[in-house]
Amino acid sequence: MQPRRNAALVVAAGMALALSACSGGSGDGGDQDKPYVAIVSKGFQQQFWQAVKKGAEKEAERQGVTISFDGPATETEVESQVTILSNAFGKKPDAVGLAALDSRAVEPLLKDAQDDKTPVIAFDSGVDSDIPLTTAATDNKAAAAEAAKHMAKALGGKGKVAMVVHSQTSGSGIDRRDGFTEWMKKNAPGIKLLPVQYGGGDQTKSADITKAILAANPDVKGVYGSNEGSAMGVVQGVKESGRDGIKTVGFDSGQGQINAINDGTMLGAITQKPGAIGEQVVAAAVKAIKGEKLPKVIDTGYYWYDRRNIDDPKIQSVLYR
C-alpha cells in the first residue's frame, strides 16, 4: 500500500506544479525576467472570453510579457470576481487588466492599486472610476443603437419589443441597454419597448425570461438580447414558446448565434472584435508599465452581421469560433 500512496503523492504534486505553471506571472511562478500582467475577465463560460484570452496571449508573446487570465465561472458572481482580483493584486503584477462586473464592488481594490502605483487597464466594460488609465472596449452604446436600427427596420417601425439584458451593474450592460432604448425613443416612435428584464448573461435564465415575456405579451414582435448568453437564451425561449414570426437581434457571435443567423431563427447581431480587445489590453498594459501616455478610451470596433454579410471576410475574421 505504501508504494501506491507515494505514487499518488507524486501525481498530486505534479498536478499542483502544472496548475501553478498555467496561470503564469512574476508573482506566481512565472518568468521573473518578464513584466507580468494579471488579467481578470467577467467570466469564462462564453466563447467571447476565450477569444479575448487568445488575443491577449498573442499580444503577450509579441510583447515578451507574461500574463495570467482569470475570471469567475459566470457573469453573475461579483464576489468571486472581487476575490480573484484581490488574489491577482496579491501576486504583485506590473499591471492589471480588468473587465468589472460591478464597478462599486472593485473600487476599494482599485484604490489600493493606485496607492501601490500598479497601472490598471479596463476592458470590455468601463469602470466607473478615474483610476484605470484607459478602457479597451467596443462603443457599446453605438453598437446597441445599430442593433435597434436593424430591429426597427425589420418591424417596419411598429410593434412591441422586449429586451433581455445581461447586467444592470456593468458598463457594457448599461450601455447596451441605454443605446438600444435611446435610439428607439428618438428614431422609432412606433416601437413600444417593454420594461427591461435582466438574465445575468445566463442562457437558461434568459430563455425562461423570454418565455415569460411572450406568455404575458402575445403581441410582442421582437426581442433583443444584449450579449452571447442573453441572445442565445432569447432564441431558445422564442423557439420553446412555439411562437413564429418574432424578430430577434443580439450581441456577440458565438457558434450558436452564427447557426441561428444562418438558419433564419435570428435576424442578426453585433459582433465585437474580441481578439483585438485582448491585444489592446496587453499592449496598453505594456505602455503603462513603460510610463507612456494612453488615450482615455481605445475603441476596438464592431460590425452588424446577418445572413447577407456573414460570409464577408471582415466578418468571418472576428466571429468567436
Kindly indicate the confidence band of residue 5, based on its pLDDT and cuts at 50, 70 and 90. Answer: very low
Residue-wise pLDDT tens digits, 185-227: 999 999 999 999 999 999 999 999 999 999 999 999 999 999 9
Q: What angle do CA 204, 206, 210 make, to 5 degrees?
A: 115
Residue-wise pLDDT tens digits, 130-174: 999 999 999 999 999 999 999 999 999 999 999 999 999 998 999
Q: Which CATH number fits domain 140-272: 3.40.50.2300, 3.40.50.720, 3.20.20.140, 1.20.1260.10?
A: 3.40.50.2300
Provide the terminal-to-terminal Cα distance of the chain, rounded to the nearest Å.
Answer: 48
Kindly indicate the confidence band of residue 12, based on its pLDDT and cuts at 50, 70 and 90. Answer: very low
Average pLDDT value for residue range 104-128: 93
Q: Judging by DSSP bridges, how do beta strands 268-272 and 302-306 pair with one another?
A: antiparallel
Per 3-state DSSP, the chain is made up of helix, strand and coil in percentages (nearest 5) of 50, 20, 35
pLDDT value at residue 32? 66
* Contact criterion met (CB below 8 Å) for 231 and 257: yes
pLDDT value at residue 314? 96
- What class does CATH assign to 30-138+274-300? alpha beta
Residue-wise pLDDT tens digits, 21-64: 333 333 444 566 899 999 999 998 788 999 999 999 999 999 99
Burial 129-161 (b: 16+ CB within 10 A, else e): bebbbbbbbbbbbebbbbbbbbbbebbeeebbb
- Using left for φ > 0, alpha for ψ between -120 and 50, and beta otherwise, residue 73 falls in alpha
**Do the first three CATH levels of 30-138+274-300 and 140-272 match, i.e. the same topology?**
yes
C-alpha to C-alpha distances, 228 to 127, 185, 211, 225, 273, nearest whole angstrom: 21, 25, 18, 8, 13
**Nearest alpha-carbon partner for 236 in 269, 262, 253, 211:** 211
C-alpha to C-alpha distances, 278 to 32, 212, 229, 260, nearest whole angstrom: 22, 36, 20, 26
Between CA 285 and CA 313 the distance in angstroms is 30
pLDDT value at residue 45? 74
pLDDT value at residue 68? 97
pTM above threshold 0.85: no
3-state DSSP call for residue 262? Answer: helix
pLDDT value at residue 44? 83
pLDDT at 19 over 80: no
Q: Where are the domains of the chain?
A: 30-138+274-300, 140-272
